[in-house]
Structure 1
């Protein structure tokens, strides 16, 4: 199928398929030929052309800003379109991007934490200056209750209390997530008055590249699919939530905050909200994968893995609250 898409829409980029890293939400293929290299993404999360158009509009605006790191560059097809329908009955879209040099950090590696903080702060400043001329398609995190129409409050609570058979052994994790969901729902209104701007919304170690020779240096930020207008402090909150539970988490978070603060400082109100925003991020991830499971996009094993990881993250939040608050105010204020 990939070869057919390339022959029909990007013939000069056709080549050999090469194994490479992929993510949770979409399918990624790496294509190499003697002259050039590219990356094809097939969107599995949605079938909405407007969402991809907004993503590309953000990227186009960012290209006008001098950045110290690379961002994705979609390639027009022979028709001039930057996205094409996958003719396999799924109505998915495929896009082709220029290959960006670099590699993902090694699993468990935290050497790029300071650089990640720098680039995150730099991106926030660049996104604040972007002029898109389009309304974001994805809602902000704080509109959680409107973001997942297939997962009503009643369905979520029932799933957690009386899960399908394949999730019966995850009762403890589901209880933790049910309590977290209820708590976050009660706090959403308080987040709406925080400073807002365009945010990437999904920065994590899977969505960046580092220099192969200098793995402490971030060279690219990827996957702007979920970019939207949201609370500014959500950007560091998403990153920090992803660091919970890893080796040397305190040192890694300290380095990230130090790098971030070299580019952006936050208000006391924003900093105080970061732990809540971290919990909101984790609840949102839960609902994201629960929706994908319910819609048939993912099999049960994907959701099972996410349930365990997220429950562990909430436990870490309980143990980490005091030192995390102190660190955030020390470096970000």
Structure 2
């Protein structure tokens, strides 16, 4: 554990990874972690502080997966944790219940901007390759995060009664969003009836949170994905969950149909979903949106976030549900077409 004394972010690297010491620059964004760029004289790294849980086993599983991925000749980078002076890959900060931190080797690349629209086929290729290799690796430790379809177990604060009360009798910060909350509550009820039958679909390790914010594109060629990041939620789940998460994130994209087509073309080079998986995609995309809602509802109930955060997420997710209703059939049709094209060679 780190010694008390100077400001924590000024001492953590020097004490735990002395060969990687340097200046720390805090990065913006991210709901679950705080990250810093560590710039030394000859190399850089990323310091991550886990803000929303104190579960060592979750981090150890994430790191075990990343160490296995590092052994493979993938055409894109994945984060690589750096060992501490004690040979571990994480350190606990402060007293016994303190947060955990870890250091990753820096990966060159740019976060895609809103103007970048040409990388989706490369994203599909990378996501498909990742899915293929995750199906084969055995990291050792058992995953801690539950699959998406175990909503009730994953969010114990969000019982049926609690969700109903939150949505139908909202607290003051959400009072003006009665229509949006009603829409989310109806989707929650609808998805609850579909969860059990999902258990029969093919399972494997999945990333769980692939989206534009968790990748880097090549600095000189923004059409090529250079890295897939943030494996914190990697777990044993439905194989189709990763493409469902990605497709659900393309709702409302300025060039939605082209982006979906490009992604599906790239993804289908490595992965062929079954007919049952394709048929389940609309449900899985809806499940992703409800999972995000319960995630932020839990953060609000725990006091992690102010009501304004849940207010904004409720507004956005409600709008997504409208787009899902109108757009999932077209997304599944496109993916099916690209899968058929790939099968024909």
CA distance in 2, matches of 1:186, 1:281: 15
Q: CA distance change for structure 1 residues 20 and 213 in 2, over 3 Å: closer, same or farther? A: farther
Instruction: Count residues with an aligned counterpart.
Output: 333
User: What is residue 254 of structure 2 aligned with on the other side?
Assistant: 247
CA shift for structure 1 position 268: 1.1
CA distance in 1, matches of 2:307, 2:106: 32
CA shift for structure 1 position 98: 0.7
Contact 1:17–1:31 under 8 Å retained in 2 = yes
CA shift for structure 1 position 324: 2.3
DSSP 3-state at the match of 1:96? strand
User: What is residue 129 of structure 1 aligned with on the other side?
Assistant: 136
CA shift for structure 1 position 20: 3.5
* TM-score for both structures, normalised by structure 2: 0.93
User: RMSD value over aligned CA atoms?
Assistant: 1.4
Contact 2:265–2:335 under 8 Å retained in 1 = no
Match of 1:156 among 145, 155, 163: 163
DSSP 3-state at the match of 1:97? strand
Q: CA distance change for structure 1 residues 108 and 276 in 2, over 3 Å: closer, same or farther? A: farther
DSSP 3-state at the match of 2:144? coil
DSSP 3-state at the match of 2:149? helix
User: What is residue 64 of structure 2 aligned with on the other side?
Assistant: 57
User: What is residue 312 of structure 2 aligned with on the other side?
Assistant: 305
DSSP 3-state at the match of 2:201? coil
Over 6 Å off, 4+ runs? none
What stretches of structure 2 of length at least 5 have no aligned partner?
1-7, 341-345
CA distance in 1, matches of 2:230, 2:328: 30
User: What is residue 230 of structure 1 aligned with on the other side?
Assistant: 237
What stretches of structure 1 of length at least 5 have no aligned partner?
none
CA deviations 1:287-333 (Å, max 9, x no partner) are: 11111111122222222221111111110011113322321221235
CA distance in 1, matches of 2:161, 2:286: 20
DSSP 3-state at the match of 2:150? helix
CA distance in 2, matches of 1:145, 1:42: 27
Contact 2:24–2:38 under 8 Å retained in 1 = yes
The 5 Å alignment of 1:48-197 reads: 48-87=55-94, 91-107=98-114, 109-197=116-204
1:14 paired with 2:14, answer no
Contact 1:271–1:332 under 8 Å retained in 2 = no
1:218 paired with 2:225, answer yes
User: What is residue 333 of structure 2 aligned with on the other side?
Assistant: 326
CA distance in 2, matches of 1:245, 1:47: 35
CA distance in 2, matches of 1:126, 1:213: 27
The 5 Å alignment of 1:247-266 reads: 247-266=254-273
Contact 1:108–1:246 under 8 Å retained in 2 = no
Contact 1:25–1:45 under 8 Å retained in 2 = yes
1:284 paired with 2:265, answer no
CA shift for structure 1 position 89: 8.0
CA distance in 2, matches of 1:267, 1:302: 38
Match of 1:42 among 36, 41, 49: 49
DSSP 3-state at the match of 2:177? helix
* Residue range with higher mean Cα deviation, 294-303 or 248-257: 294-303
